[in-house]
Amino acid sequence: MKFEVEQISTETVKPSSPTPHHLRHYQLSFLDQLCPNTYNPLVFYYHLKDNDDITEISNKIKTSLSEVLTLYYPLAGRVVSDRFVDCNDEGVSYSVARVTTPSRLSDALKNPNPNEICKLLPFELFPITEFALGVQLNIFGCGGIAIALCITHKLADALSCIMFAKIWVTLARGEADRVPRPEFSASTLFPPKVEPLYDVTAGASKEIITKRFVFEASKIKDIRLEHQSNDVQKSPSRIESLSAFIWNRYVAAIKDELLEETEKGYTLIHAANIRTRLEPQLPEHSFGNISRVGVVVLKTGEEYGYEVTKLIREGIRKLDVEYLEKVKKGEDEFLDLIMSYSRGITERGGQSISLCFSSLCRFPIYDTDFGWGKPIWVSSANLCFTNFVAFMDSKSGDGIEAYIALKKEHMTKLEADKDFLRVVSSVGAI
């Protein structure tokens, strides 16, 4: 369904208390420098009661946003030269918009389209604006709202965004005594480099197609069974199994484009939170880009089932203390492997085939209760990079939604794959 959204107002919200002078310079970490200048989007959808007042809701959002910015002071500053944040309290963007079509939130959630969801966001996902954070309150005509936020990936990974939202709503409920203070130790652990090695933003594109597919619990169970080995006691996880399945269906879908006599490189990349992999471990409210990627290099691209899930698990297991100690020194052997391997294939006239996966599953995205109830749905929006898959829990908690971004022609082929269609649906959000 097409969305029509009219912006009513826009203003700047500043921290409720000034940032102390000794905190005015927030240094980006080496891992922050490696992240793209794009926004991470999250949209929270709520039903309202008949007696809920929109003006009061908007004021509550603004007041609590101002309060949480005193804790997350870098978000109210301005990024300078991809090296540091001037924490000058200039504030974040807050806008209010009216959704004229569809007028009912329930209609918007029947078969949500990531491209249309982007109309609920305060900004385009790239290029980024001067703001590190933007919030937009979207008002549906018949008893519903959607609160959308965009946080620059240059400062925050997915878990940082989610923990920001969780602490924000806790303050909104008047429970300040339950709020943990975010930790800002990333640049100490991972000191920045004078010049970043790679410009990953260059790969961002608006010419790709993002679609949302739902894997229901029963289908996930079947896929896990298909990817299980009789010789191994521990079954593959839901994410390992779905990643392997999507990889296999993607390779099968584009097989007619693979030239028989041409060298081919196959890589499967999986992002992982490293807070609990460090020694000592970091708490979940540690802010920044504190994640790395496990890399799988496949020999033929035709590896299947348990063979692929085993390689995914091994790739993530290699994100160990020894590897992370090297990252602290500014050495990322797996990122170097990805870049050099694919570049070498391309320079020799070969074909590089890859998929990158990220998962927000098991993160507390449905705990975002401002005081008018938990969200009935939480969504992402379009993805900025092709050949990218993002997993999120469904509202029920036992299903998984996959946001898949591909070139238009590859998406058409994937959607025509019978084995893929057999297990996915694009059903409504609730």
Catalytic residue among 82, 86, 369, 417: 369
- Alpha-carbon span 122 to 147, nearest angstrom: 10
How far apart CA 395 and CA 374 sit, in angstroms, is: 11
Residue from 32, 153, 227, 285 carrying the catalytic annotation: 153
Contacts of residues 258-261 at CB distance under 8 Å and 24 or more positions apart, as own/partner, are: 258/301, 258/351, 258/353, 259/351
Going by C-alpha positions, the residue among 255, 216, 136, 190 that lies closest to residue 424 is 216
Tokens representing residue 301 in the block: 């691209």
Contact 400, 394 (CB under 8 A): yes
Contact 39, 152 (CB under 8 A): yes
| Among candidate residues 355, 359, 254, 363, the one with its CA nearest the CA of residue 308 | 355
SS (H, E, C) 390-409: EEEECCCCCCEEEEEEECHH
Contact yes or no for 74/182 (Cβ under 8 A):
no
Q: Quick one: tokens of 385? A: 């990079």
Which residue do the tokens 């329930």 mark?
106
- Taking every pair of Cα atoms in the chain, the longest distance, rounded to a whole number of angstroms, is 68
21 noted as active-site residue = no
Is 231 considered catalytic here? Answer: no
Helices (H), 19-93: 30-33, 54-71
Q: How far apart are CA 423 and CA 430, in angstroms?
A: 18
* Active site members: 153, 369
